[in-house]
Amino acid sequence: MSGPNERCVGDLRIQIDATLCVSFGDCVEAAPEAFALDDEGIVIFLSPERVERELLLTACDVCPVDALTVWDAHGTQLVP
């Protein structure tokens, strides 16, 4: 169901598009428990389940290149 670039957290499904990530790190700054940059500067998941829902949504939403997409349990896209 979810691979290294997708994670379900509560009622959210978060997907990382590694081809869009350009290492700004805004998501990491907003939620360092949830995200990190790998050796190539691409965002990866750490422990997003440890971050409250609203902060997680904010961290995904601050990505200036929309590399993070979030859907709710009903399939409604919340971010971007």
Domain edges within the chain: 6-79
What are the angstrom distances between the C-alpha of 79 and each of 38, 39, 53?
22, 26, 13
Token pair 């959210």: residue: 12
What confidence score (pLDDT) does residue 4 get?
77
Give strand pairing partners of 37: 43
pLDDT for 2 equals 61
Question: What pTM did the predictor assign?
Answer: 0.93
CATH of region 6-79: 3.30.70.20
Strands 68-71 and 77-79: antiparallel
**pLDDT at res. 1:** 47
pLDDT of 22-60, one tens digit each?
A: 999 999 999 999 999 999 999 999 999 999 999 999 999
